Structure 1
Amino acid sequence: MITSIKYGQTTTYNQFWNEIQFNRTINEKWSAELNLGALYSSTESSSNIFQQNIQRSARVWGHYYFSPRWKFSSFIAHNYNKDVPEIGHFKSPKVRFALQGIYYFHKTGYTLSTRMRMELRHMRNEEKDYDNVRYRQQINYIQPINSKVLRESVVYAIASDELSFKSGTKVTGLSFFDNRLNLGAGYLFNDDIQVEVTYANQYLLRDEENQIVNVASLTVTFNNLFKNLNKKLHHKNEASSED
């Protein structure tokens, strides 16, 4: 959580989030996904947003494609929050479990969807363990820029807004409501690799003082990476054998 600027009961932070996503198709209905992420922050003594690595995370997904309009998912994740007292960030390992549904509105020329997610977060600090239940509702819009559809070599714009409602926990401070607005762009190198760069403005309602977090985010996604590499190696070996 970065350079802090206090205005009455509101504190503003700046952060950098990055995540690598590995997706693997299992069959027509199922796929699996692995996310590896890190969160960086500046401090009051340094404006460098990479000054402190305050969190590392890993998340494993299972996705079920029920119909062209509905996708149901579940994940289990582990977040390791590091102890950085200078910015009020304290060590609190966290395990998360979630059930999620995404409904797609099929539109010509753009993609519109809404996401519903229920999370159970089990957090631990130096005193005790605490459970926290959170419901998240998001609407997401994707607009291709140089094509009418998402395909290879296409740039696209992203916009989303998400509301979170949760029970209180003594680990992060009593809170009930969060809002996150995302704006950014992505690029599809091909069907297997894409990159997204976004800006997020996150409003966190807290018991002592509210927080506004400005986030620069980078996400790199690989689809069927190891499967495709294995195919290429197999074809290369076959070609060598024929020679």
Structure 2
Amino acid sequence: MSLKPNHILLVKKICPILAIILMSSIGYGQTIHYSQFWGEVQFNRTITEKWSTELDLGTSYSSAESSPNMFEKNTQRSFRAWGHFYLTPRWKLSSFIAYYNNKDVPEIGQFESPEWRFALQGVYYFHKTGYTLSTRMRTELRHMKNEDDTYENVIRYRQQIKYLQPINSKVLRSGVVYAIASDELFFKSGTKVTGLSFFDRNRLNIGAGYLFTDDIQIEITYANEYLPRDNGNQIINAASLTLSFNNLFKNLNKKFLHKPEPVSED
């Protein structure tokens, strides 16, 4: 599918920005490199025209100094419970509460740090013909255990811009493949558990998704993260897999449990 002139112009504007960010990530903090895998399963349910809920189950694996295998160490398990409110066709407001089990993995400099997290989020969509551009704003309150076994509160702000382009259709529907690219900046308050630097990290994502049906989709992306840290900067190259289900149990109930009414004979 050929790109329209306005699409080409947008790509020309975005690509240099992403390239600069990526080269900056590679050029600085080359002290420590890790390969990781991030996996997540999402369950979404529509409540009303304006409201929906979501449950996310996640896990993370990492390589270590002793092995380049991205599945060498299980570093984190998590769950998040969301509430979404669709204020207008362009604005979606959300909030979640989450628990992250950050495991003790000395091989990558990570200590056991269980975390409760609460967040407020807003997403604004620039709906265009043939593609979608969005910007996401999120403020997080993180309640984390530090190395002294006491809990600290960390405030973190995240700003993301995301581009989504259907490949074999103009709209997202069953059977459609789409490309995605995003970049996100993280800023945080200084604490012992996360370090004193104001800039937390930069995350670049590039990948693709596929809709098996209107209610089941998969996304596979490559993520590059640059993390400035007090004990040495980190570069993370991660493979990310996200599987999403919309109204799963409702659809299963309709398919397997709903009994058709008997046809009356006159």
> TM-score, normalized by length of structure 2?
0.85
Aligned length: 235
2:170 to 118, 137, 148: 148
2:235 to 197, 209, 212: 212
Larger proportion of helix: 2
Q: Aligned AA for 2:168?
A: N
Shift of 1:14: 1.1
| Structure 1 Cα separation of the partners of residues 194 and 111 of structure 2 | 9
Is the Cα contact below 8 Å between 1:193 and 1:222 reproduced in 2?
Answer: yes
Deviations 1:138-187 (A, max 9, x none): 00100001111111100000000001111122123333211111000000
Task: Report what 2:25 is aligned to.
Answer: none
Does residue 72 (structure 1) correspond to residue 72 (structure 2)? The answer is no
Q: Aligned AA for 1:29?
A: K
2:65 to 30, 35, 44: 44
Shift of 1:10: 2.9
Does residue 165 (structure 1) correspond to residue 191 (structure 2)? The answer is no
| Runs (5+) with no aligned partner, structure 2 | 1-27
* Cα 1:53/1:107, change in 2 over 3 Å: same
Shift of 1:238: 2.8
| Structure 2 Cα separation of the partners of residues 71 and 82 of structure 1 | 33
Task: Report what 1:112 is aligned to.
Answer: 133
Q: How does 1:13-92 map to 2 (within 5 A)?
A: 13-92=34-113
| Structure 2 Cα separation of the partners of residues 166 and 77 of structure 1 | 18
Is the Cα contact below 8 Å between 2:134 and 2:161 reproduced in 1?
Answer: yes
3-state SS of 1:232 partner: helix
| Runs (5+) with no aligned partner, structure 1 | 1-6
Task: Report what 2:121 is aligned to.
Answer: 100
* Cα 1:9/1:106, change in 2 over 3 Å: closer
Q: Aligned AA for 2:152?
A: Y
| Structure 2 Cα separation of the partners of residues 213 and 159 of structure 1 | 17
3-state SS of 1:238 partner: coil
Is the Cα contact below 8 Å between 1:175 and 1:206 reproduced in 2?
Answer: yes
> TM-score, normalized by length of structure 1?
0.92
RMSD (CA atoms): 1.7
3-state SS of 1:206 partner: coil
Identical counterparts, % of pairs: 73
Larger proportion of strand: 1
Q: How does 1:168-179 map to 2 (within 5 A)?
A: 168-177=190-199, 178-179=201-202
